[in-house]
Structure 1
Amino acid sequence: MLKSLLCTATLLFAAISLASATGINIDTAHHHLGDDFKKGLTPSEPESLVYTATINLDSPTDIRSAELTLTAKSVVSGPTDEFLDKVYLNDKEIGTLNDYIPAQTLEEDAINIAIPIHPSILKHGTYTIKITSGSNADGSNYDDFEFYNLAMHLTETEPVTLEPPLKVAWTYELSRPLFSSPSVSLIAENVVYLENEISIKAIDANTGELLWNTEGGADLAYEEGALFAVRYANIDALDAKTGTLLWRKEYVTSDGNGPSRPIGVPGGNPVIFGDTLFVSSDKYISAIDTTNGNLEWRYELNLTDFGTGGRNYYSISSPAVSEDIVVFQFSASHSSYTGPPVAIEPGAPEPELGETIKKEGLIALDTNTGEEVWQYAYTFIVDFFPESKLSLRLKDAF
């Protein structure tokens, strides 16, 4: 009979960073984008269809959050399929002004807009900001709008020097059955998240107090107050502070050659970039919209250069994301033997060595579409005992 054991998780916790805010005033002047005179805008005459500005970031420290802010007037309110006024950072689209304009907004109303920027795309160097006026379907008419007070706001983390002697801040005792020890999966916004096969626990990093727990282990990712728990074939989005379920989705697909396959596998380490959660499984990379759980795209690793017959085996690493590409390492092998297991009697000769073809490398995908951008791989042959022929060789015990 399994007995419940008492496991003590001791965390030495000390503040290692502080947040500081930096504001960068880019342009306070009033600008009119569009193609026509419009009374009430400053200036009344349009200056262009496109506005550009450049800024320099001088070796910023670790950026926790960033946003581009401006005040706008007379932007067509969203949602809309036309007159989309877009904002770009180094030619990467980061937002559409229309999405921030409530319905029934009057043309003379000034609306303050804050567009989030993913911190990972901000390093030191020069950045070009571009704002464009959108047109109707046939391009015969453009949105005329005004904006001003363009700025960027950064929240940076500053390292704090820790001086000995360090002391234990708190301990937390975990009562658990005989499963693997819980591990610290991540720490975010002063909350420690522990998980193993049977549960997820959220603990206050300052006091050691249990905030919430839920059944079922998962691989975790955090973004802007939401915790994403990838559990094999489904994903739960939880309120990171309370554990309240925000949404739940199940994702399965069939390759026509076996049972449905999962969205993720244990240890897959999901990665969030912008509003997209990237999850890897044995042969799939999936992109999930973090706001609603919708599947944006799924890439299937399906090599065809192994030829026909036999069986293919795949494994994919956790993805790494940088701006427009998501990169992962893969390993694929092809076994030509598909027969039944073969028993090996004592004294019988060893089975003949077979060959397996292996291919390993890196693949880069477009983060928006899931289409392959490039692949770097090499192929080699490995001698092996055919997997289905391997068995225990029985020997006399006495």
Structure 2
Amino acid sequence: MGRNLLYLTLLLFVFLFASVSVASAADIVLDTEHHHLGDNFKEELNPGDPEGLVYTATFTLDPSVDIESAELTMTGKSIVPGPTKEFLDKVYLNEIEIGTLNDYVPAETPDSTSVSIKIPVHHSLFDSGTNIIKISAGSNANRSNYDDFEFYNLSLHLSEVEPVTLAPPLEVAWTYKFPWRLIHGAPEFEILAADGVLYICQGYSETSVTAINAETGELLWDKNLTEQGHLGYKDGVLIVLSYPTVDALNAKNGELLWSRGYQGGWPDIPLIFGDTLFVSEYGSRYVTAIDIGSSALKWDYEINLTGSRNTGSYYLSGLQTNGNVLALRYNIYDIPYEHGLIALDIDTGKEVWRYTDLREHSPDPLFYKDLIYIGGEEIVALSAKSGEEVWKTDTNG
């Protein structure tokens, strides 16, 4: 039995090292100068006179760059704090909105206080070659007055994927023997690689998360769980979805940072965008947004019920995002049957649109630029902003 276990381990890690890519980081300094957008002189801003209502910055990306994630950073001052319905200072990448500055300024922030702003950017919005960042000053409802604000130190932080080239003959770098007894079949694994560490979640005989040095095979730490979980990672924090809780662990030592419950049933693989964890639960009708740093609940979404629905008849897919909306596929197995796609506002969890003309076994959606695609027996392209059908074609599958 032990021999079978060791053989499984060897295969697992040879496959892992042949397929894992390495992530590296790069910073692009776009503009260090101080800028004032708006329509009025403000002595306390630098410069005091406004430059106009719109600012643009151009940068170039090498076509070979494969971006995994990105953040646009800047320092802002005198921005109208969010949430607000007026004076929305919007930011665009290649004419696609990526955020509103107001959302990153806490309520009741004094005009004289400088605020560090980090806007997460979806990788699909970048173009090979020339790219344009645009920042615009928002106005009141009748456009008679514009927000006057200052910003400076505009930069992009990119995490790039660098493929690892391996040539045969491949050799085993190391092995690690797990303390599990194989009774029948192979154990279920979920593996996440981040910052030189392999995090392995298994739930065969007993459920645990194991952290192993990816270079040496050295055990770093091991932690037992209540149930088998799914893994996510953000800036040194390992997220473990293990029903009925979400646990945040210090990725270096496995120490519990926080734990909280969530609505619904067994979760899908978590989606992390910016500083927010998004959880959908298949077999239920809930989506939850949680702040990774504080564990605070940002919002809960419950799919609207129509008629007399059986609460056990729902299926929700995993989540996808372009940075503005979250998209998830849903199936309702109760008369009348319904198969569709829902888009939620990423900041509020409110339903933006719903598309109800999908086939039952359609795969999860895919974002690219300002469109969202669903494949399967037919391919459908929808506007990510409105849900309007752009085109549809049958694959004869």
The TM-score normalised by the length of structure 1 is: 0.68
Q: Does 1:235 align with 2:249?
A: no
Determine what percentage of the aligned residue pairs are the same residue: 32
The TM-score normalised by the length of structure 2 is: 0.68
Q: Residue deviations 1:63-101, cap 9 Å, x none?
A: 2443324455x5369799799884513223164497499
Partner of 1:270: 270
Q: Residue deviations 1:8-64, cap 9 Å, x none?
A: 323123674362525253x45542223432346543322234434455545453224
Which residue of 339, 350, 353 corresponds with 1:361? 339
Correspondence list, 1:34-113, <5 A: 34-39=38-43, 41-55=45-59, 57=61, 59=63, 61-70=65-74, 75=78, 86-89=89-92, 90-93=96-99, 95-96=101-102, 99=105, 113=116
Closer/same/farther in 2, CA of residues 5 and 285 from structure 1, 3 Å limit: farther
Partner of 1:375: 355
Partner of 1:200: 209
Determine helix, strand or coil for the equivalent of 1:175: coil
Q: CA RMSD in A?
A: 4.2
Alignment-mate amino acid for residue 124 of structure 1: D
Question: Are the equivalent residues in 2 in contact too, given 1:286–1:295 (CA < 8 A)?
Answer: no
Which residue of 118, 132, 137 corresponds with 1:115? 118
Which residue of 251, 255, 275 corresponds with 2:262? 251
Closer/same/farther in 2, CA of residues 78 and 238 from structure 1, 3 Å limit: farther
Question: Are the equivalent residues in 2 in contact too, given 1:237–1:245 (CA < 8 A)?
Answer: yes
Correspondence list, 1:150-229, <5 A: 150-177=154-181, 181-197=187-203, 198-216=207-225, 217-229=228-240
Q: Highest Rg: 1 or 2?
A: 1
In structure 2, what is the Cα distance between the partners aligned to 1:87 and 1:102?
20
- Comparing 4-13 with 27-36, greater Cα deviation is found at 4-13
Determine helix, strand or coil for the equivalent of 2:176: strand
Alignment-mate amino acid for residue 115 of structure 1: K
1:173: how far off? 0.9
Alignment-mate amino acid for residue 120 of structure 2: I
Partner of 2:377: none
Partner of 2:301: 298
Q: Residue deviations 1:243-301, cap 9 Å, x none?
A: 1222211123xxxxxxxx43x34xx2222233232322313241322322415122226
Alignment-mate amino acid for residue 371 of structure 1: E
1:117: how far off? 2.4
- Comparing 366-375 with 239-248, greater Cα deviation is found at 366-375
Q: Residue deviations 1:288-330, cap 9 Å, x none?
A: 22322415122226353xxx59896232222233333333333
Question: Are the equivalent residues in 2 in contact too, given 1:329–1:360 (CA < 8 A)?
Answer: no
In structure 1, what is the Cα distance between the partners aligned to 2:193 and 2:34?
43
| Structure 2 residue ranges without an equivalent (≥5) | 361-397
Closer/same/farther in 2, CA of residues 99 and 244 from structure 1, 3 Å limit: farther
May I ask how many residue pairs the two structures share in their alignment? 337
In structure 2, what is the Cα distance between the partners aligned to 1:104 and 1:328?
38
Correspondence list, 1:5-16, <5 A: 7-8=5-6, 9-10=9-10, 11-12=13-14, 13=17, 16=21
1:119: how far off? 4.2
Q: Residue deviations 1:210-251, cap 9 Å, x none?
A: 222221221112222222211222211222222122221112
